[in-house]
Amino acid sequence: MTTTDIKDLRRRMDGALQALHREFGGLRTGRAATSLLEPLTVDAYGSQMPMNQVGTISAPEPRLLTVQVWDNSLVKATEKAIRESDLGLNPQTEGTTIRVPIPSLSEERRTELKKVASRYAEQARVAVRNVRRDGMDGLKKAEKDGDISKDEHHSIGEQIQQMTDKHIEEIDKVLAHKEKEIMQV
C-alpha cells in the first residue's frame, strides 16, 4: 500500500465529512438559510432537478426564504417539492415567486431534528468505517501478495486507524455543534 493509497483513503473520509456538512446545511435551526432548500429536488421536465437549478433561492429576511422560479410552468412543482419535504414548511406562491416563511421551532420539532442530525452523523461514521475497512483489506492483500512486510502492515494499519479516529472525532464535534444550534431558542 503506497502513500497515494493513504491519500485516497483520507480523501474519501474527508468526502464523508463534507457530505455531513451538506446534510446539516439542510437541517433547519429556526433561521432562514438558503442551504435549507438546496437539497430538495423538483419534478421538472420529466426528471428530478435540484431546487437551485429551477430558480434562485434567497433569504431576504431572517425568517423568510424566497424562490424566484425561472420557468412559470415549474412553479407548482417547486411549491409541491417544498410542501412535501419533511421540513414542515408552508410555501405561498405569488406569480413566479414562492415565499417560504420559516416558523419558529417547537420543542418537539427540535427534538425530532436532533434525531435526524444524529442519523446523518451515524451515516457519516459508517462511511468512514467502510473506507477504513477497504484500506485494511488492501493492506491484507498487499501483505499476502508479498508487496509489504508484516511490520509495514502494522505501521500503515495504525496510520489508517488514527486517521479514522480523527474523522470520527470530527464528526462527533460537528454533530454536537449542530445539536446545540438546533436546541437554541
| Helix (H), strand (E) at residue 37 | none
Contact 27, 113 (CB under 8 A): yes
Q: Where in the chain is the domain with CATH 1.10.132.20?
A: 3-25+106-183
89 vs 182: CA distance, rounded Å: 16
**Cell numbers 423538483: residue:** 42
pLDDT computed for residue 185 by the predictor: 62
Q: Which among 173, 165, 170 has a CA at the least distance from the CA of 129?
A: 165
pLDDT computed for residue 10 by the predictor: 92
Q: Where in the chain is the domain with CATH 3.30.1360.40?
A: 34-101
Torsion, Cα of 173, 181, 25, 94 (10° steps): 180
Quick check: pTM over 0.75?
no
45 vs 49: CA distance, rounded Å: 9
**Cell numbers 462527533: residue:** 172
Q: Which cell goes with 8? A: 485516497
First vs last Cα of the chain: how many Å apart?
50
pLDDT computed for residue 71 by the predictor: 87
Identity of the amino acid at 76 = K
Query: What CATH number belongs to 34-101?
Result: 3.30.1360.40
pLDDT computed for residue 4 by the predictor: 65
Give the CB-side neighbour count of residue 103, counting CA atoms within 13 A: 10
Torsion, Cα of 155, 159, 162, 167 (10° steps): -160
One pLDDT digit (tens) per residue for the chain, 185 residues: 566 688 999 999 999 999 888 888 767 666 677 777 777 888 888 888 888 888 888 888 888 889 898 988 888 888 888 888 877 788 889 988 889 888 777 788 788 888 888 988 999 999 999 999 999 999 899 888 888 888 888 999 999 999 999 999 999 999 999 888 888 76
Q: Which among 129, 161, 155, 126 has a CA at the least distance from the CA of 142?
A: 155
Arch. (CATH architecture) of 3-25+106-183: Orthogonal Bundle (1.10)
